[in-house]
Structure 1
């Protein structure tokens, strides 16, 4: 599940980002409203977590513009302003839910999952590549009926690969979309996680699904035609 987190307070943004990433969400963070809208125009997200008090554009304006771009994406507003007028305004501008700061992380994730369950979108459907399936809501992965025990980071990586099956994904794309970091050519973090994932997917001798494209990145497909490794 891809999350767009719009929060200008660095410590809170880092806290939410870390917690959601550990829960297998793929999180992209924006620190102001204009950046958030740029990200929303260039990619799709399964849910948006939006603070109201933002530089450049406030959350109400961002919410209205976001709703015009993506009418069906759930938006959860965050604010230290607990006045009923603010809640009503947030909901009227297009938010699906409103959470007042300070809040428990468990409540944030519970509200996120509740919003996601209501969405009749392709993002919630079980993903399938050959005999591999991934249920993004239940966080359940099976191959040939065998349930796989994946770490949260492995799960986030696998979901990104499966949602883009057949498409060659560069190492930079994987770093930015899964880890929300700028790719460093000197690091092999992508390759390490790919290798861990491959071992679990092929533990019982199943055919390879994640193929390397030399000098570029990786592609997930159900056959090895044109694959380099």
Structure 2
């Protein structure tokens, strides 16, 4: 599941991103309503966690613009503005839920899981690439009936590769999208995780799906189901 966190309070945004990644989600963050609109216009997301008090376009304006352009990504409003009028307007504009700051972390995760269980919410609950099946809701990965026990970070990495199946993604892109880090030429964290992922996904199979393109990046090979 790919989540967009729209929050201008830096410490809170970083806390949410770290917690969501530890829970096994692919996360992108931005700190303004204008940037959020640009993100949803250019990338696919399964869920948006949206603050209301934002620079540029505020959260309600973001919702209005999304609905005007028929962008139906589920939205959970996360805001200190908890008056009835704000709640009603947010829900009327299409938000699926509304949680008040400060919030309980486990409650937020539970509400996210509720959205995951809605069949029509966002993209399909599964990504299939060739013989590999990734169940985003159940956090389950199988290949030819064989189950794989992936760590939370390995799952996020595989999901990112699967969403970009048959495209080569660079080390820099992986760091930005999976680890939310700027490129560090001295770090070998991507190489280590790709090695571990390849051992789990490809070992014992004739066809190798995880491909290293030397000097360029990595790719997950296979026909992606629509």
Q: What's the TM-score once normalised by structure 2's chain length?
A: 0.90
Tell me the CA shift for residue 32 of structure 1: 1.4
Tell me the CA shift for residue 201 of structure 1: 1.6
Contact 2:8 2:54 in 1 (8 A): yes
- CA deviation map 1:44-63 (0-9, x unaligned): 11110001111222211112
**Equivalences for 1:1-229 in 2 at 5 Å?**
1-69=1-69, 71-120=71-120, 123-222=123-222
- CA deviation map 1:68-93 (0-9, x unaligned): 34522101101112211110011122
Give me the whole-angstrom Cα distance separating, in 1, the residues matched to 2:45 and 2:69: 11
Give me the whole-angstrom Cα distance separating, in 2, the residues matched to 1:131 and 1:115: 27
Tell me the CA shift for residue 130 of structure 1: 3.4
Contact 1:124 1:137 in 2 (8 A): no
Give me the whole-angstrom Cα distance separating, in 1, the residues matched to 2:67 and 2:156: 26
Give me the whole-angstrom Cα distance separating, in 2, the residues matched to 1:128 and 1:40: 23
The change in CA–CA distance for 1:189 and 1:41 in structure 2 (over 3 A counts) is: same
Q: What's the TM-score once normalised by structure 1's chain length?
A: 0.89
Give 4+ residue runs of structure 1 displaced > 4 Å after superposition: none
Give me the whole-angstrom Cα distance separating, in 2, the residues matched to 1:34 and 1:73: 16
Tell me the CA shift for residue 41 of structure 1: 2.1
Contact 1:116 1:124 in 2 (8 A): no
Q: CA RMSD in A?
A: 2.0
SS at structure 2 position matched to 1:102: coil
Count of matched residue positions in the alignment of Structure 1 and Structure 2: 223
